[in-house]
Structure 1
Amino acid sequence: MPRAKRKRASSENSTEPAAKAGDKEVEKTVTSGAITPKNKSAQKTGEPEEYAHWLLKSEPESRMDKGIDMKFGIEDLKSQPNQTACWDGVRNYQARNFMRKMKTGQKAFFYHSNCKEPGVAGVVEIVKEAYTDHTQFDPKNPHYDSSSSRDNPRWFMVDVQFVRMLNRFIPLAELKQIHLKHKASGGPLKNMALFTRARLSVQPLTQEEFDFIVSLEDVKA
């Protein structure tokens, strides 16, 4: 599978601070398996048993870390062979666990983060399910994890393929305004993870949330 020159998925912008890798509190509260009806915490939060859509954050603007440019926007994905790349660099346990739940064929939003105007840029498809993230073993890589071993890897990644750009870029500021309205009115984005779990670079979306955001692409901002 061809790989991108550079990928990251853990850094967030100032309004969505990144969770620290190795966050033990997060690790304790999330399991790696799919949520089942027997999972009491899932029942309490009202989470669906399974998610079919996702939101993946990446940085579209240059930022150097250990001599490596962390830039990887949706245009960079489009330029890859077969418009496909591995989504490496996730270093948060909850985000990692969400990646483990991803299934081939599921759709995700490509979200531009840590930039002048964050927001949803397009749609990608999961084309390979979770497997070992090679960057955790590379000391020269910004995402190196000395506590992880090849026999017992800690971090995983999926492969994604470009599907399409949205008809218009949907900025975070617009989604935030809608979220606030929906919290009061009970609309589709009332519990959107982008605001309730803002630290995460990999987030689940309900069918209703995904469909609503897609519907915004043809609505004048």
Structure 2
Amino acid sequence: MKSTTKKYFFTACLLGTTALLSFGFPRSKYVGTDMLSRLQVPSQMKSWNSRDVSGAFDLKDARYNFVNSVFARQYVSDLGEYLVFIILDASNFHHPQICFGSSGYGVKPAGDLEINANGRRFKAHALFMNKKQGSMLVVYWISIDKKNVDWTEQKFNQFFYSLFNKKKIGLMGRLDIPASEENIQKALRFAKDFISDVSRNMKPEDADYLFGTAS
């Protein structure tokens, strides 16, 4: 893919994540468990290389107040296909469909999918994002204290933990994959293959926190 297209794609990912984080951000800074500093996600695998792009996020900006830390790497396969893998350690997560829509994207749900992360079967959600400059598939999921949760469960957990002033380890995983509407299914398979590779190269406990415990 041309470098200008890659540059646009990465910019789109960054803008989309900024929207996701800043939609109704709180005034006080969230102090998390610093889980991402302990989470060992492979930067290189048999068929993958990557580069760190987390420096693009300025966590001192007030828009990121409910985010403790961000993991963001661009992975490229041996075949030249690429994606951006983002993990957020945050106190609250806003719905990507609403946030991306408010940023000028045309958003179309692309269904739910069950993913096998080395024996951990969890549910993820997919959205097709479209702008005049390009389009991408976004696959995302949420895990709280090693449990894969849906949007309703996430909000309940947020209320419960805040009510009793308890700490939780809440992570949102997200894959941003360049895609056209015609090759959504191919992009979904690409996402599943990537997660399969990543999970096999992680420590079991780290994979539990990111994807949920094995069923």
Q: TM-score, normalised by structure 2?
A: 0.24
Report 1 or 2 for greater relative contact order, CA contacts < 8 Å, sequence distance ≥ 6. Answer: 1
After TM superposition, the score normalised by the length of structure 1 is 0.24
Larger strand share, 1 or 2: 2
Structure showing the higher helix proportion among its residues: 2
